[in-house]
Structure 1
Amino acid sequence: MGRPRVSDELYVVTVTYSPGPHLDRFLASLAHATERPVTVLMADNGSTDGAPEEAVERYPNTRLLRMGGNLGYGSAINRAVAEYGLTSSTDFFIVANPDVQWGPDSIDLLLEAAGRWPSAASFGPLILDPDGSIYPSARHQPSIIRGGMHAVIGPVWKSNPWTAAYRQDRATPSERAVGWLSGSCLLLRSAAFAEVSGFDERYFMYMEDVDLGDRFGRAGWQNIYVPAAEVLHAKGHSTGRDPARNLAAHHVSTYTFLADRYPKWWHAPLRWAFRGALGARARLVVRSSRRQARRAQAKGQR
């Protein structure tokens, strides 16, 4: 349960879906993140750009696992973890998006934090957006009021207090326990991942990291934010291809998460309210996204 020895091999699991040049930057920067020998497992969800195949040729520490189609993020991670028996053969492994670029010693710093927090299941670094701003990757679990007001009011009032509280926007970056951590980059304790049976595969995309953090907490584990470790996340290399479809998927996943937390028969009116509010919000943001896409397309044709 302690920190792995320097000689121990570390596995990094990433899900590829035509990742383009992001994957090469991911793999090239990995050498700066840790002194440990690393094997990268690429769970490929149906790439057509040839990037995973090129990576295998260029980087001898990579393994390409073809999923046979687009299984979604969590399902692909689970399959790679199972195929390599990571929960029984390792103390820790990394899960990260292929559009991450690793900061110096970022993985070693996460592993050091794991030694300080023996009751923690997941560890997440400080995540920088491409413009250098800090992405709010360490958040509270979404309560009815805090999460609900963030979901409903957030799109029209960006600086509202409920969103700030949920995202912990005003908290100074510090090593601390949080409700959940962004799944774009996580160090996971193998025993904890096995205990909760990994990612919930009902989530095709979005909210699988919120759900995982919540289930870790319910099982008695902690989720630890480690801002001393830094990564850059390009974000949206795959979701940006069809933003309207993905916005709709986000709302479906959000309903799944909330409905699970209020499953009793007397919670039915609450679930109806969730479904109605999220459905209305989804229609609003999808229409807005499509209008923006049409404007951008028209502007490009001028």
Structure 2
Amino acid sequence: MSAEIDIVIVNWNAGDMLRDCVQSALETGGQALGRVIVVDNGSVDHSLDHLPDDPRLLVIETRENLGFGRACNRGASLAQGRYVLFLNPDTRLYPTTLMDVLAYMDSKEGQKVGVCGIRLIEDDGAIQHHTTAFPTSRDIYRVDAFRTDFDHRTDRRVSHVIGAFYFIRRALFEQLGGFDERFFVYFEDLDLSYRVHQAGWSIQYLASTAAYHKGGGTSDAVKARRLSYSLTSRLRYARKHFSWPGNLLVLATTFLIEPPLRLLRAARRRSAREARETLAAYAMLLTRAR
């Protein structure tokens, strides 16, 4: 079998998780694996120092944080296989993960599937509910809007699968121009899934194969900045995909309704830290908005 799959991993201070993720990809890819392309977004934790020595591994050091979408595009530009898998560094592939997904995508049933996601298993063995319907202007700010109402134990067509394991046809990715680099992080995968559907392709969730996903990942230590990025990307998604009344509703919710609700929640929890993080996140958001 010739190389069919290239894997792109964007790293930002992922520590030992990066090594474990890369090792799992190299060990399970078999002959179908072309290259594992690690794009390092200016990490300072020496997470690149302990990667395995393997000719299939290519490391690109950007020396700065390009953002997730832009870094993914940089890595994908070097891909040569028919498929590209965007994989978070806080994941680990199981022995049959790649072969199962490849077999499905090459099957008769998978011919009109542009993107495939799989069952993701958390630390405690729980199945991560990570697929979603596309949000509207009324529910985009609700976390619950990013989960469908099924138990993720059966295969089905979905609107979107999480970017932690995003298996896409390379020709389709290139046709769509890759990730929209205006999204620094968050919503860039949702935006791409929306464009996949617009182009006439479907997205498949496969419960029949799995991988490990820690979740939270490399942004646990920067919660205020993470919140500010999420809010910024939410506003950008609304401007791009909603009508002007919908966009106005998202703006009002984000700036007028959500901040006092977040601060009230912090007060009820007696968490000064949560309140400080909320205020810091909105300060960063306002700085970007100017």
TM-score bin (small chain): 0.7 to 0.9
Structure 2 counterpart of 1:186, from 162, 166, 174: 166
Structure 1 counterpart of 2:127, from 115, 134, 138: 134
Which residue identity is paired with 2:64? G
Which residue identity is paired with 1:92? Y
Residue number in structure 1 paired with 2:75: 80
- The SS at the match of 1:122 is strand
Give me the TM-score of the superposition, normalised by structure 2: 0.84
Partners of 1:216 and 1:286 in 2: CA distance: 37
Residue number in structure 1 paired with 2:101: 110
2:60 counterpart of 1:65: yes
Kept in 1, the 8 Å contact 2:35–2:56? The answer is: yes
Residue number in structure 2 paired with 1:249: 229
Residue number in structure 1 paired with 2:149: 169
Give matches, 1:287-302, under 5 Å: 292=271, 294=273
2:240 counterpart of 1:260: yes
Kept in 2, the 8 Å contact 1:248–1:282? The answer is: no
Partners of 2:66 and 2:152 in 1: CA distance: 37
Shift of 1:233: 0.9
Structure 2, gaps ≥5 residues long: 275-290
Shift of 1:10: 2.7
Kept in 1, the 8 Å contact 2:76–2:84? The answer is: no
Change in CA separation of 1:232 and 1:169 when aligned onto 2, cut-off 3 Å: farther
Residue number in structure 1 paired with 2:22: 27
Partners of 2:97 and 2:49 in 1: CA distance: 26
Instruction: Give the RMSD, CA atoms, in angstroms.
Output: 2.4
Partners of 1:286 and 1:73 in 2: CA distance: 29
Residue number in structure 2 paired with 1:281: 258
Kept in 2, the 8 Å contact 1:175–1:224? The answer is: yes
Change in CA separation of 1:101 and 1:221 when aligned onto 2, cut-off 3 Å: same
Kept in 2, the 8 Å contact 1:243–1:289? The answer is: no
Give matches, 1:225-236, under 5 Å: 225-236=205-216
2:45 counterpart of 1:49: yes
Give me the TM-score of the superposition, normalised by structure 1: 0.81
Shift of 1:34: 3.2
Kept in 2, the 8 Å contact 1:247–1:282? The answer is: no
2:209 counterpart of 1:213: no
Partners of 1:233 and 1:129 in 2: CA distance: 5
Which residue identity is paired with 1:179? S
- The SS at the match of 1:174 is coil
Shift of 1:283: 6.0
Deviations 1:193-240 (A, max 9, x none): 011100010111111111111010011111111111211111223211
